[in-house]
Structure 1
Amino acid sequence: MHFPTLATPFIFGATALAASLTQVSNYNNNAKAKPGMWVYKPDTVKSDALVIAIHSCQSSAQKYFANSKIPWHQGSDRKGYITVWPSSTTECWDVSSKASLSHDGGGDSNAIANMIKYAITTYKTDPKKVYVTGGSSGGDKDADELFGMMSNVLAATYPDLITAVSLYSGVPAGCFVSSSGASAAWNNTCSGGQSKASGEAWGNVVRNMYPGYTGSRPRMQFWHGSVDGTLSPNNYQETVKQWTNVFNVSTTPTSSKPDTPEKNYRTDDFGSNVEGIWAVGVGHSVPSHLDVSEAWFGL
């Protein structure tokens, strides 16, 4: 006699989880690069924030979304924010060519910026709450390096569109520049940690990606493992030098918290806009920490 009563919430529960990753075939993209745009809109939208989740090399929006170690769609369901999942048409994102390292240059960064503009208009999200991330898939052989790089490149080329960034296992913006002009070109000097410069020089790389821009910059949080064998840990300090220069603050942390957010991690704050998280004994790449990244975003 009680079976119908038990079945009803089960049916309702299944209906409540009907949201799925959906492709947007036309996002008003005028860039030469044509990556795909996929959107996850939770059944219950409770937030006007927008999160852009950048997939790894040798992956796609669909694969990245389906990866159980990537938590952003779970965060979307729990907190009700919309996520956009760009999907590269090449093996890796272009973080090397002038087209992608320039504001409105026609490269991958330009196309992702167009996705952001489309999403803000279509889903009525707050343009002051646009967040970019690339979450690690938790294994050294998963080729996650260029998502962190693209997050950094987007922060440099489209600071007017992005509020905050949380990137994993990356390099300074512009570090992977290609002398040949090729897109998605591997740079052994940068990956090996041999690309070193002053903070001002690194800061100029960012400023030159959008010449003349004087507006606000996205708050930057970056994670790196101390034994990363794919992207040298030296890139962590170079990234610190870059973004502290952009925000005109010291490379000496204003606060340093050991064993944060977990044992053998250290969180260094450089004022309120730059945060570095150093993971001792962790390789490539650093596991995603959804709660920490969401807190950085204010979600």
Structure 2
Amino acid sequence: MRFLLDGFKRVARSHKRSAAAPAPATLSRLQTFGSNPGALQAWYHVPEGLTKAPALVVVLHGCGQNAAGYDQAAGWSKAAEDFGFAVLYPEQIHTNNPKLCFNWFNLGDIRRGQGEVHSIWQMVETMTTEHGINRDRIYITGLSAGGAMANAALCAYPETFAGGAIIAGLPYAVATSVPAAFDRMRGHGIPNEECLQERLAEASSHIGPWPTISVWHGTIDGTVAQANASAIITQWSGVHDVPLNPSSVKTVDGHKRLAWRDRFGRDAIELYLIERMDHGTPLDVASGYGQIAPYMLDAGISSTLHTARSWGLTPAFRRRLKGIGYVRTTRPAQVTGDLSPTGRKTFKW
């Protein structure tokens, strides 16, 4: 889209310099990945010496950000190096959206087989083929507009992803115009439960299993209302057949985590409510994964590490050392939960 809006100026005003920054050496350009109907760019990082069939995490930046800036601030490539998985960064361009927002409010960009969401799927397919990615271990996450587009990818291609983490994002297909997008961001006009679940059901012909869903939202988010976090959970609760009320509520690193357990006993949906945090990605800078930047906020909890652990990407809290293997990290006490006899993280509520 080639429009310029005051609203997007406000959302992205503090990212003007970072958006123009070149990609750091840790990211490589994915030159070709199919027809690319959404006209997106793509960057990736694959650490040397990965084991056969590694996992892949797809990471979508927010408005005004780019792949390199978000990667540096969120610490995903660093986590990939330490724990041994690949990272893919779809990147928006100015000719699609002047403020570098993924177009989550444009139906032509979120429908299966169309636009930006199909470009993202093509990137995943290319990475899977070229780097031997394990198709059962592909995940996606994103912030704000990137979170909304991550949700769109999960809805349109649920067979592709094992899990998703939506940070300060919005439900799928709740807006079809820019004015409607801003209304939804304010929490106005969000569809009811039946409508939300119908839009997910209409996104694909998938019959399961469905990806797990993790939702992160600041309690004082002034850009995307917290009502959107609740709506995302409502949208996914039908396909996961989870109870209306959370199965467990616990405090993790000083913040509330609610989980909805499915009939198989797994936490199919979880919600992290980050106390006193405005719009952005929650980081724990002291963990060594993450740097403060616009909309990248030190909240004392690392959404990057917690998400990676919930996806089984950081087994036994061990870091990968080139030529040596794995060594135990020094930070397991930062995480609520117990370690099983095999060293794998398990939560007991």
On whether the aligned pair clears a TM of 0.5, the verdict is yes
Distance 1:215 1:87 in 2: 29
Higher relative contact order (CA 8 A, sep 6+): 1
Whether 1:176 and 2:153 are equivalent positions in the alignment is no
Conservation of the 8 A alpha-carbon contact between 1:160 and 1:216: yes
Aligned pair partner of 1:294 in 308, 320, 332: 308
Whether 1:132 and 2:140 are equivalent positions in the alignment is yes
Q: CA deviation at 1:198?
A: 3.0
After TM superposition, the structure 1 = structure 2 runs for residues 1-299 of structure 1, keeping only pairs within 5 Å, are: 20-27=26-33, 29-46=34-51, 48-65=54-71, 67=72, 69-89=73-93, 90=97, 91-105=100-114, 107-134=115-142, 144-178=143-177, 187-210=181-204, 212-257=205-250, 259-260=251-252, 262-263=253-254, 265-271=255-261, 272-288=267-283, 289=302, 290-299=304-313
The amino acid of 2:163's aligned partner reads A
Q: CA deviation at 1:173?
A: 1.5
Q: Would the alpha carbon gap of residues 197 and 250 (structure 1) be closer, same or farther in structure 2, given more than 3 Å must change?
A: farther
Distance 1:243 1:30 in 2: 30
Q: CA deviation at 1:156?
A: 0.4
Q: CA deviation at 1:234?
A: 1.3
Q: CA deviation at 1:151?
A: 1.1
Conservation of the 8 A alpha-carbon contact between 1:97 and 1:177: yes
Conservation of the 8 A alpha-carbon contact between 1:166 and 1:296: no
Q: Would the alpha carbon gap of residues 248 and 195 (structure 1) be closer, same or farther in structure 2, given more than 3 Å must change?
A: farther
Q: CA deviation at 1:253?
A: 0.4
The amino acid of 1:126's aligned partner reads N
Structure 1: unaligned runs, 5 residues or longer: 1-17, 135-143, 179-183
Conservation of the 8 A alpha-carbon contact between 2:174 and 2:184: yes
The amino acid of 1:296's aligned partner reads S
Pairwise CA RMSD: 1.9
Distance 1:186 1:50 in 2: 33
Q: Would the alpha carbon gap of residues 185 and 56 (structure 1) be closer, same or farther in structure 2, given more than 3 Å must change?
A: farther
Conservation of the 8 A alpha-carbon contact between 2:150 and 2:166: yes
Distance 2:49 2:180 in 1: 41
Q: Would the alpha carbon gap of residues 196 and 97 (structure 1) be closer, same or farther in structure 2, given more than 3 Å must change?
A: closer
Structure 2: unaligned runs, 5 residues or longer: 1-23, 262-266, 284-301, 314-349
1:12 matched residue in structure 2: none
Deviation digits for residues 257-292 of structure 1, max 9, x if unmatched?
1x21x11x1111111211111112211124142221
Higher strand fraction (1 or 2): 2
Distance 1:185 1:124 in 2: 42
Distance 1:32 1:111 in 2: 6
Distance 1:77 1:185 in 2: 41
TM-score computed with the length of structure 1 as normaliser: 0.82
Q: CA deviation at 1:186?
A: 6.4
Distance 1:74 1:229 in 2: 30
Conservation of the 8 A alpha-carbon contact between 2:107 and 2:173: no
Distance 1:84 1:266 in 2: 29
Distance 1:206 1:114 in 2: 21
1:13 matched residue in structure 2: none
Q: Would the alpha carbon gap of residues 185 and 162 (structure 1) be closer, same or farther in structure 2, given more than 3 Å must change?
A: farther
Secondary structure of 1:197's aligned partner: coil
Distance 2:57 2:182 in 1: 31
Distance 1:162 1:55 in 2: 18
Q: Which one is further off, 69-78 or 18-27?
A: 18-27
